[in-house]
Amino acid sequence: MRAAAAALAALLALPAPAEDELPSEGQPAPAFQLRTLNPEASGRDFVALGRLVGDEPEDPGSQVVLLSFFASWCGPCQKEMPYLEQLHRMYSARGLRVLSVNIDREEPGLSEARRQIKAARVTYPVVGDRFNLLARRYLGEQSPLPSVFIIRRDGIIARIERGYGKDASTFLLAEVQRALGLPPAARK
């Protein structure tokens, strides 16, 4: 147990990647496996990106992963969550896999995030990144929330949006349709 605690402390002491070392469009998405905050609704205890994308994904239907980072205190994130659920319901049969990463560190924030997830009736997996190890790999030290990554089936990042404007629903719909190879007017 002490070895695990020492390893975690060493990881937490590592500096976040420099801005030019952060993942960018056209590069492989950093792998991860994290515990879900909503196992009852999502049907999963853990989520591993490698099971959805990469050389040999285990999910044969997975075509595109929409990965969104959020925190309980982020107003735009709260507005985004029901829309992500709508995209999940509309396009999961066509290969869209929606994942959210909560970056709250303290228990009150985690409890509030769980409440928000439940209130929005989220059925896609939401994972917890309490120590922000994944967030630092994807976002660095500071990045506007929500931040979204569209990851193709081959594991390559197709689109990154670190914070976005009021037209989030239009932007997300267009990006999902583009990534799935659907015409812009297609809605199901």
Specify the pLDDT at position 15.
46
- Cβ burial, residue 44 (10 Å; 0-12/13-18/19+): middle
Q: Where are the alpha helices (DSSP H) in 140-186?
A: 168-180
Residue 31: is its pLDDT beyond 70?
A: yes
As a whole number of angstroms, the distance between CA 7 and CA 2 comes to: 9
Band of pLDDT at residue 126, cut at 50, 70 and 90: very high
Residue range 63-116, pLDDT digits in tens: 999 999 999 999 999 999 999 999 999 999 999 999 999 999 999 999 999 999
Which residues, other chains included, contact 173 with Cβ-Cβ below 8 Å and sequence gap of 6+? Answer: 87
Specify the pLDDT at position 18.
52
What are the extents of the domains in the chain?
A: 22-180
Band of pLDDT at residue 141, cut at 50, 70 and 90: confident
CATH of domain 22-180: 3.40.30.10
157-162: strand order across its sheet:
126-128, 96-102, 64-70, 147-152, 157-162
| Percent of the chain topping pLDDT 70 | 86
As a whole number of angstroms, the distance between CA 152 and CA 123 comes to: 21
As given in the structure block, the two tokens for residue 177 are: 């349709």
DSSP state of 155: S
Specify the pLDDT at position 165.
67
Query: 4-18: string of b/e by CB count within 10 Å (b at 16+)?
Result: eeeeeeeeeeeebbe
Distance of CA 120 to the CA centre of its chain: 16
